[in-house]
Amino acid sequence: MYQGSTVFSQIMSHLPIYEFNKCVKRYNGNHRIKSFSCLNQFYSMAFAQLTYRESLRDIEACFKALRNRLYHIGIHSTVARSTLADANNYRDWRIYSDFAQVLINIARPLYAQDEIGAELDDMVYALDSTTIDLCLTLFPWARFRRHKAAVKMHTLIDIHGSIPVFIWISEGKLHDVNILDLLVPEPGSIYLMDRGYIDFERLHNIATNNAFFVILSKANMQYRRLYSHSYDIMKGVHSDQTVLLTGVRSSMEYPDKLRRVHYYDEKHQNHLYFLTNNFTYPSLTIANLYKCRWQIELFFKWIKQHLRIKAFYGLSENAVKTQIWIAISVYVLLAIIKKKLDLEPSLYTILQVASVSLFEKSPLKEAFYDVDIYESTNEPCIQLNLFDL
């Protein structure tokens, strides 16, 4: 019989503790802390994410029932809900934001060779946001509308592996397009965006930084066709034009030429018009690239369904951001483990199996062995998974 570490301990062993301590020291996270350290806080919140705990009282009850095993999962002190609540409210959320970025930097190279549905060597990113609704009575600091509170999670993901590269948590009122001011365009990269990000001055900034964008065009855009390129209507491309903006304001904000591709989506019977500053790729590649943007929608759907970011354990802004960043860290950590251990099950399946076996003492890879067999001998699941090969 295996007498080693628990599944939870093996999952946490993939954390770069040295880097975590650097993040804690950067913000004096353990200043005047005697027992419940920032690492204990991270372990407790990660446990809550992996097992989908409903509240601080729920977390406390579970830890009391498992008090004899807490030491073996790295928690060396009693966890009271008041202690965890104080930690979430007062310990700087930037500790966990910086640490999530450390995990992201580890995960991205692991997925760099994954296929994205378009044969390109360039880095491809998708940008979008999701709104997390809150109760205005409980979260008055996050006022969104007259009777509603919310925060927005603006996210840039690497299409290779659906790994978040940039995340900014803002008030719900902040318009999506303002996030372009915070991004530093990576030369040679391609940014996929929907029409909500159309601001020609900001798009021109991307172009002047030698990066590319593919964005849905608005119906009322004023432009003048300069000339047309060849296209294949049998593949859904109805036009491929080089245009120049003619609007009074837009022509000043974006004085250079743009490419406008008209694509007909036969499956959904929808006409799509793309704008891009890339004149090299075939028109069909431009259309296929935009299809890759759907991965960010799957990312938002996945974390909202399977992690705890829609109901919060604390009411302060610091507590909300701490919980979201630790949820992102858990997501990226599972992605790292999946790749390092070469696990076949989907990320969803890994999360579900881990949630019921955290205190089992079995090798981590063997915990998913029977799942591998099950998934390979049954009909394909209609569940959308981010990490299917």
pLDDT tens, position by position, 97-126: 999 999 999 999 998 888 776 667 788 999
Report the percentage of the chain scoring pLDDT > 90.
63
Rounded Cα distance between 209 and 9, Å, is 44
Rounded Cα distance between 316 and 196, Å, is 30
Residue 372 has pLDDT above 60, yes or no: no
Q: Which helix (H) or strand (E) holds 11?
A: helix 7-12
Neighbours of 288 (CB within 10 A): 19
CB 128 within 8 A of CB 293: yes
CA dihedral 18, 24, 28, 34 (to 10 degrees): -80
Residue 250 has pLDDT above 70, yes or no: yes
For 227, the token pair is: 């000339």
Q: Give the mean pLDDT of the chain.
A: 88
The helix/strand count (H/E) of the chain reads as 13, 10
For 30, the token pair is: 């353990």
Strands (E), the chain: 124-134, 143-145, 148-158, 163-171, 190-193, 212-216, 223-228, 237-245, 258-265, 270-276
- Please, which pLDDT band fits residue 268 given cuts at 50, 70 and 90? confident
Q: Give me the residue label for tokens 């008041």.
A: 82
Phi, psi of 231 (to 5 degrees): -155, 165
Residue 374 has pLDDT above 50, yes or no: no
262 or 160: whose pLDDT is higher?
A: 262
Q: Give me the residue label for tokens 């004096």.
A: 28
Rounded Cα distance between 130 and 169, Å, is 10
Residues of the chain by 3-state class (helix, strand, coil), percent to 5: 45, 20, 40
- Please, which pLDDT band fits residue 344 given cuts at 50, 70 and 90? confident
